[in-house]
Amino acid sequence: MSTIIGHYIAGEIHVPQGGRTGPIFNPSTGEEIARCAYGDQATMDQAVQAATEAARKWSQTSHATRIAVMYKLRELMIAATDELAEVIGREHGKTIADAKGEIGRAIEGIEFATNEPHVTKGEFSVNVGGGIDVFSMRVPVGVVGCITPFNFPIMVPMVMMGMAIAVGNAIVWKPSEKVPGAAMILARLLKEAGLPEGVFNIVHGDKVVVDALLEHPGIAAVSFVGSTGVGEYVYQKGTANNKRVASFTGGKNHMVVMPDADLDAAAGAFVSAGFGSASQRCMAVSLLLPVGEQTAVKLRELVIEKIKALHVGPYNDPKADFGAVISAQSKAAVEKAIAEAIDAGAELVMDGRGIRIPGHDNGYYIGPTLFDHVTMDMTFYKEEIFGPARGIMRAATLDEAIAITNAHDYGNGSVIFTRDGKSAHRFMSEVEAGMIGVNVPVPLPVSYFNFGGLRRSKFGDGHLYGPDAARFYTKFKTVSQRWPDAAAAPAAVSLAFNPVSDKS
């Protein structure tokens, strides 16, 4: 009988008897390794109740107390890196090295969360009139719902929830049901770090749980990372239920390469940013845009050479550059996208279908796949391909490359490789993307800068981390106060609308 991973509510693991469950697979082998409990409305009610009660006390604790938990969590995360990486690799399929890189960025998010007293400071004005002082303060919103994707089982949740907890909120988290193992380790580490019971809760499940979270009146704010279709649904349903929602969705990120660029470095950057983690990253480079035919010809040759050197293998193969995709359904979807691109007229330069990994015949593997002569009318250009199939487009000028980039529905990240400052400046100014790289293949900012795309890559005004995350997880209160002299004569009654006048 398979092990069942249960929910985590008020500091305890809950494994429902006879309830719905779903399979957890090892993508490297294709075998079912455990089951995940699926919650329902009653489970969500229980979690929100626990979070609500805990939030009242946690929000009143000192900044120093909350920060101490974050510092301790950082130490525990570092110590648990190997354990976390093993679980992430086994459930996700990414290599151990890739998983450890993800954990490092999660720890960076925790480190920034320790700055919460600084980024939540209010404002103060003395004697605005009539002896009245006015000040603003940021206070926690209460209970925050977090919905996170499979591709970053620990980084996205931690940069999301680290700040939410640090500023004084309680959490109800719905991790991806495909990768629940790391979530349970994180629950244990937070408990060891001294976080009070009920501040952090996990409810596993599918759309039933998502809807329960979005509809629950006890949840004040929702943060989401995932696919665009689901993210738009979360934003619309959440806001319809009077919640603050920040929804971070898909990307189709373009990499423009100018003729003056270091083409070998650009080719290496494209392969690294395009195929890392089997291309299952919203910030992955999807389309290469060489400017000029000569640039395209040279760059194509260099890219092919570097792709041929890639090694695909199971998550625990130290020689593997990337591993399997997350599921059999994902593999089928990527292979369908490849077939459609061929039918649409794109040139298949390298075909990763049918790759065989000895001893892992049932794993969900796709080798690196490359198309050339992708055009804007193709589905391959229009839709995010969440797997190792990348494309080359041709642009005659920088103007055309910018136009191709801006014509897309998504605006997550875009990058340019060039030695020319003027070209880089134009690109930064004119491209409609939330994160821009100049000779940087993945412009994922450090945790103390805001993360978030434009257009259909983000719904809502919040950002995933950085100073704006602290603002998203807090609400403003503005106070006007006056302390009259007890010996002063009673003020005359006035009905004039002039509350801050020196005469009032």
Write the CATH number for 190: 3.40.605.10
Q: Is residue 504 part of a domain?
A: no
Question: What integer is the mean pLDDT of 245-273?
Answer: 94
CATH of the domain at 386: 3.40.309.10
pLDDT band per the 50, 70, 90 thresholds, residue 282: confident
If asked whether residues 193 and 317 sit together in one domain, one would say no
Does the pLDDT value for residue 19 go beyond 90?
A: no
In this structure, the answer to whether residues 324 and 363 fall within a common structural domain is yes
| pLDDT band at 501; cut points 50, 70, 90 | low
pLDDT in tens, 135-164: 999 999 999 999 999 999 999 999 999 999
Q: What's the rounded mean pLDDT across residues 314-333?
A: 96
Which DSSP symbol is given to 277? G
Same domain as 396, residue 260:
yes
- pLDDT at 500 (0 to 100): 57
395-408 residue pLDDT tens = 999 999 999 999 99
Residue 280 lies in a domain: yes
In percent, the amount of the chain with pLDDT more than 70 equals 98
Q: Is the pLDDT of residue 469 over 90?
A: no
Does the residue 497 lie in any domain? no
Are 31 and 75 in a shared domain? Answer: yes
Query: What number of other Cβ atoms are within 10 A of residue 45's Cβ?
Result: 15
Highest averaged pLDDT of the listed ranges 173-177, 447-451, 459-463:
173-177
In a domain, 447, yes or no: no
Tell me how far apart the alpha carbons of residues 211 and 161 are, in angstroms, rounded to a whole number: 20
Q: Give a yes or no: residue 99 inside a domain.
A: yes
Q: What element of type H or E holds 437? A: strand 435-438
Burial level of 207, CB count in 10 A (0-12/13-18/19+)?
A: exposed
Q: How confident is the model at residue 460 (pLDDT cuts 50, 70, 90)?
A: confident
What pLDDT was estimated at residue 411?
81
Domain count along the chain:
2
Same structural domain, 309 and 386: yes
Question: Is the pLDDT at 263 greater than 90, yes or no?
Answer: yes
Is 503 a residue whose pLDDT tops 60? no
Pair 301, 222 in one domain: no
> Which pLDDT score, from 0 to 100, does residue 499 have?
58
Task: Catalytic residue, from 154, 159, 282, 470: name it.
Answer: 282
Residue 432 lies in a domain: yes
**Highest-scoring range by mean pLDDT, 343-347, 451-455, 459-463:** 343-347
DSSP string, 341-361: HHHHT-EEEE--TT---TT-T
Is the backbone of residue 80 left (phi > 0), alpha (psi -120 to 50) or beta?
Answer: alpha
Query: In terms of domains, do 245 and 273 share one?
Result: no
Rounded-to-integer distance, Cα 370 and Cα 310, Å: 13
pLDDT for residue 502 is more than 70: no
**pTM, to two decimals:** 0.92
Check if 146 is active-site. Answer: no
- Whether 493 is in a domain gets the answer no
The first and second tokens of residue 121, run together, are 């400071």
Q: Are residues 282 and 236 in the same domain?
A: no
Query: Over the chain, what is the mean pLDDT?
Result: 93
In a domain, 448, yes or no: no
Q: Are residues 128 and 27 part of one domain?
A: yes
Same-domain status, 238 and 267: no
* Residue that has been written with the tokens 């041929």 in this structure: 308
- Residue 9 predicted with pLDDT over 70: yes
For residues 229 and 387, what is the distance between their CA atoms, to the nearest angstrom? 17
| Parent domain of 357 | 253-438
Same domain for 193 and 233? Answer: yes
Q: Is the pLDDT of residue 504 over 50?
A: no
Q: Note the pLDDT tens digit of each residue in 79-125.
A: 999 999 999 999 999 999 999 999 999 999 999 999 999 988 889 99
- In terms of domains, do 324 and 402 share one? yes
